[in-house]
Amino acid sequence: MTRGVLIAIEGLDRTGKTTQTSRLLERLDKSGVDATLIKFPERTTPIGRIINTYLTDKAFELSDQSAHLLFSANRWELAEKIRNLLEDGKTVVLDRYVYSGVAYSSAKGLPFDWCLSPDLGLPKPDIVLFMKFKHEDNVTREGFGEERYEVAEFQQRVKTQFEKFQNEDNWKTIYVDNKSIEEVGELIWAEYEVVARREREALQKFTKLE
Ligand code: Z5A
Ligand code: MG
């Protein structure tokens, strides 16, 4: 059996990550692919509940370092589940992951490498689809500005930090300006198919050697 595909959808606020991860999951299901969606922060775990309070209650204060380590710990709460699903051949779709963790905390001024270190050792995605607007004026989506962090100038700093990952071998940028939900969905599906085909071919080569 081949290891399942790990696909992370990342990006700036309101670019459609949650919309697209749930559509991708539906399409995978319809295609007969056994897939699981995990969203970070996963707000229902013990650590996730603290994160939820932090994000929604501006009176609840944490140092930037503590908040960062909680977001990372939240991923470690799910790490074994992700690894087990992949080893069982299941596909796992992530709505935000390590890259959001590093980008948001380093945008607050914490050192980039320090931010990355507590996440080292987590399962590495086969592909990271980074959703962004090419033109900032297009950031007019519903719900913007309700939670901590959703301020334009801060978003610009987050973008700069995210882009430090853009030369990684698993990184792919998806521009969402003026594209319908369906159009973005097609771009994501095409990227998924490339990775899934690569995994199948790798398995076939391995089988031939036996
Ligand atoms: N955070 C962190 O600091 N450290 C970490 O380690 C992690 C996260 C993991 C909450 O995250 C905060 O946590 C976040 C980062 C920080 N900071 N902020 N803000 P969250 O993931 O829970 O945030 P969210 O509330 O889900 O918002 P979001 O993820 O930014 O939104 P989205 O998922 O990208 O967008 P959406 O909900 O799919 O769509 C937004 C709206 O646009 C909705 O009305 C859609 O119907 C509409 N939409 C979507 N696509 C389109 C297209 N193509 N055209 C038109 N309209 C569209
Ligand atoms: Mg979302």
What's 194's domain CATH number?
3.40.50.300
Domain span at residue 105? Answer: 6-200
Answer yes or no: is 122 within a domain: yes
Q: Whose CA is nearest to atom 43 of ligand 1?
A: 142
Answer yes or no: is 43 within a domain: yes
Residue 180 beta carbon below 6 angstroms from any ligand 1 atom: yes
Please give the Cα distance from 71 to 74 (Å, whole number): 5
Residue 67 beta carbon below 6 angstroms from any ligand 1 atom: no
Taking the CA of 176 as reference, the closest ligand is 1
- Two tokens, residue 99: 């890259």
User: How many structural domains comprise the chain?
Assistant: 1
Residue 179 beta carbon below 6 angstroms from any ligand 1 atom: yes
Answer yes or no: is 209 within a domain: no
pLDDT tens digit sequence for 108-118: 999 999 999 99
83, containing H or E segment: helix 64-87
pLDDT tens digit sequence for 29-51: 999 999 999 999 999 999 999 99
Start-to-end C-alpha separation, the chain: 14
77, containing H or E segment: helix 64-87
Average pLDDT over the chain, rounded to an integer: 92
Answer yes or no: is 206 within a domain: no
Nearest alpha-carbon partner for 95 in 41, 52, 39, 26: 39
Give the E-state strand segments of the chain in sequence order.
6-11, 35-39, 91-95, 127-132, 171-175
Answer yes or no: is 86 within a domain: yes
Confidence of residue 197 (pLDDT cuts 50, 70, 90): very high
- pTM of the predicted model as reported, rounded to 2 decimal places: 0.94
Mean pLDDT of 190-205: 88
pLDDT tens digit sequence for 145-154: 666 666 788 9
Confidence of residue 79 (pLDDT cuts 50, 70, 90): very high
Answer yes or no: is 174 within a domain: yes
Q: Whose CA is nearest to atom 12 of ligand 1?
A: 55
Answer yes or no: is 207 within a domain: no
Count the alpha carbons within 13 Å of 122 in the hemisphere toward its beta carbon. Answer: 24
